[in-house]
Structures are given as structure tokens and as C-alpha cells.
Amino acid sequence: MPEIPIIMPQLGESIAEAMIVTFLVREGDRVEADQDIIEVETNKAAMNVTAPCRGVVQRLLAKAGESYPVGAVLGYLDVTAEEAARAGLQPVQAGPAPCTAPPTAQPVTPTATDRVQPTVRGLPVPAHATGASYMSPRMKARMAELGLHAADLAGVAGSGAGGRVTIQDFERFLASLEQHRITPASPMRVSVADAMRRSWTRPLATVGLPLRLDPILAHRKRSGLKASPTLYAIRALALALSENSAPAGRLVGNRIVHPRSIDIGWAVEVEDGVLVPVVRQVDQRRLAELLPQYEQLVELARQRRLPAEASGGSIATVTNFGTFGLTWATPIPLPEQTLVLGVGAGRRVPHWSHSRQQFVPVWEANLTLSFDHRVLDGGAAGRLLTRVAEWLGQPEKL
């Protein structure tokens, strides 16, 4: 009896392939024309492949969970010559030779080359997160096998419809990587990359204002405390949040989760990455009491020997990007946090003195607050940053 191929149809203008989800029929089943026989999934929706005409399912060549391009032969129907003629289809007597396919693609019998096969392993900057936007199931599977994420393809120019990156573009990209010098990314760098990628899935914004450093410098000299500006900022942020902890809350679904304790972390640069030591209940401890623990944790972080009780669980982070000579930056909050406070490099600037009616030199630094815009609006972020600056302006109360 002649056979009619079941072909992966063109399921949409920009659809080049689809993944088999499940088979709605079995070999030997009798089907009618246009009956749903295979459920498939594209990068846009779940759809069904229908029988081209009445017949009996002879063979199913495709496999569930694998992707096939448009035009691929997924199986065969046994049909009568009369039925094939009525449907206007060209039967084949046997074997893999397919019938006429849609004009947009040539039908092919699925082979090992139609399926995802890893060719390059151990690429730099692997990622742990999964999922991608506007990417076919076949591409997702291919990238998952290699431990890659959509962010790793940011520089790849797509040749598909609407600039879509096709599997061919991806394979060419992998091959081109082998032309370059490749070194493995350290676990620290991979961890930082993964955290920042997850952080960037949220709408983030930054506000800033100038901060007079003279009161802090005078307090350091007067009190004898050799505390870093970072520690002053940690304490000021904690006091500001103790007055209203809502800005440090996390949005989970349709609820704001408020912090139970004002635990603040700060960024410490280490080899090939950053660690964040944490001090607990900062709002309940004076600056002088915090200083010994702060200095000890900085040293332990540089040695990568942070104790478990001083790691994780903080509600906000302070970063002193001024240590790199930067006057302005937009730090990114950690994935589990809403806020990160930044302190820029101090510099001598002219300041108008109303009492003297002239400009006088002062020390000034920029203070920034980056935040999750889902939780805070600009006004709330600005008020919190202003309150932090007010606390820093009266360091004797810290």
C-alpha cells in the first residue's frame, strides 16, 4: 500500500522548527484527514500537526522531547491510491523519500543531524540559569547541553526572521570560539556572573546626591576611630532602614516581604570576584562596637575564609566604589536584595559659604542608591538616600 509522509508544517511566519511534545495516535491507528495526531511546541505556542489525509499510521519516526525543522518527515501513513489522489498528494512506495513539502522548506528524513548533538564543551563563562526569550526548544536544548545562557549570545547576529538567532548561527558561533584563546572561568567568576544575570531580570534604577565628607573626617580625627567611610555608610543605612524597613522589602508575587533584622553586607574585592561579609543587627550596635568585627571580616573575606554566620541573609549591601577612584557608578543589587548603597571617591570641590559670602574648599563624594523599581519608586528611593545622607552628616550619633 502506498505511503504518505507526515511532515512538520510551517506553523508560523517566523517558526523554523518545533519540539515534539506528545503523540496523540499510535502506530496502527486509523486517522481521518485533518485529525490532530502530534502535539508540538514552538517558541510561541503549543500547536498540533494534523493528518494530511485518511489512512493508517504506519510509522512514527520522530521522538518526543526532540526538535525538528520545518519540512522534516515525522512519520508515514498507509493510504489508498484513491485517497491520496483525492487529497492531491503524491504517495511514495516505501523508504525515506518524502512527498512534496511546503515551498518554504525541503522535507528531510530525520537523522542524527536533525537532533541536538554537542560539539563543543567546556566553553568560558558557563551559566546555571535556564530559559531564554524568543528561542526555539531546539536551541534551548542545545544551549542547556553546553551550559550556556541567552546572555552568552548577546554578540551573535541572527540571520533568521526578525533577527532571530538560528541553530546554524549558533553552531557558527561555537566554531568561531575555537579560533580564540580560551581559558576556564573560575568558580568565583561564574558565581558572580550568575548572580548579576539574575539581578538584571528586575527593573533597576539608581538615584544619587553629593555628600559632604568633612563631618566624617572631623569625627574620625576627634574620636580616634579609624573607621572606613564604608562602615559609616553601613551604620547610616541601617539607622535609616530601622526608621522604615519597607524600602528593604522584597517583592514576592503580590506581597512585600519585610526584613526581620537590619543585617547589612558590604562588598570586598577578592581575586577574580567579590565577597559580601555581613554584620547582623547593625541598627542596634554603635559604630565603635562594629569596627573590630568589620575589620576582622574584611580580612577573612580577602582570605576567602568567611564564617557561615557572616555570609548571606543581608537585606542590603554597601559598596565603596570610590576605592577605585570612581566618582559615580550604578551598582547592581544582589538577587535576594532590593537595595545597594554606593559611595564614590572623595574630592576637593568649591562650596558656597553663606556665612562668609564666598566659596570655600570642602571634601565631597557622591552617594548613590540602586534599587528594585518594582518595590521602590524614585521618590521613596530619594527620601531614603536623603535620610542616609542626614545620618552621615551627624556622625557623632552613629
* Mean predicted lDDT score pLDDT of the chain: 83
- What whole-number distance in Å separates Cα of residue 157 and Cα of residue 173? 9
350-371: average pLDDT: 93
What single-letter amino acid sits at 164?
R
pLDDT of 218: 94
| Residues 345-348: contacts with CB under 8 Å, at least 24 apart | 345/321, 346/213, 346/229, 346/322
Backbone phi, psi, residue 58, to 5°: -85, -50
pLDDT interval class at 43 (50, 70, 90): low
pLDDT of 193: 84
* 330, three cell numbers: 550604578
Q: Kindly report which listed range (129-138, 202-211, 332-341) carries the lowest average pLDDT score.
A: 129-138
189-397, what's its fold?
Chloramphenicol Acetyltransferase (3.30.559)
Both ends of the chain: CA-CA distance in Å? 90
pLDDT interval class at 91 (50, 70, 90): low
- Answer for the pair 305, 277: CB distance below 8 angstroms, yes or no: no
12-30: average pLDDT: 85
Coil, strand, or helix at residue 277? strand
pLDDT interval class at 22 (50, 70, 90): very high
- What whole-number distance in Å separates Cα of residue 71 and Cα of residue 76? 14
pTM, two decimals, is 0.61
- If one compares 136 and 370, the residue with the highest pLDDT of the two is 370
Q: Indicate whether 172 pLDDT > 60.
A: yes
Q: Kindly report which listed range (207-221, 262-276, 384-398) carries the lowest average pLDDT score.
A: 262-276
What is the percentage of the chain residues whose pLDDT exceeds 70? 85
Q: Kindly report which listed range (21-30, 192-201, 285-294) carries the lowest average pLDDT score.
A: 192-201
Domains in the chain: boundaries? 3-113, 116-184, 189-397
Among 11-20, 57-66, 130-139, 191-200, the range of highest mean pLDDT: 57-66
pLDDT of 242: 94
CATH class assigned to 3-113: mainly beta
pLDDT in tens, 276-327: 999 999 999 999 999 999 999 999 999 888 888 998 889 999 999 999 999 9
pLDDT in tens, 142-166: 888 888 877 777 767 777 665 677 7
pLDDT in tens, 365-398: 999 999 999 999 999 999 999 999 999 999 999 9
Backbone phi, psi, residue 101, to 5°: -110, 170
pLDDT of 180: 84
| Residues 19-23: contacts with CB under 8 Å, at least 24 apart | 19/65, 19/66, 19/67, 19/68, 19/136, 19/137, 19/138, 19/141, 20/62, 20/63, 20/64, 20/65, 20/66, 20/67, 20/68, 20/74, 21/46, 21/64, 22/64, 23/60, 23/64
pLDDT interval class at 125 (50, 70, 90): very low
Backbone phi, psi, residue 251, to 5°: -85, 120
pLDDT in tens, 218-259: 999 999 888 999 999 999 999 999 999 889 998 888 888 889
Among 37-41, 176-180, 337-341, the range of highest mean pLDDT: 337-341
pLDDT of 44: 52
pLDDT interval class at 135 (50, 70, 90): low
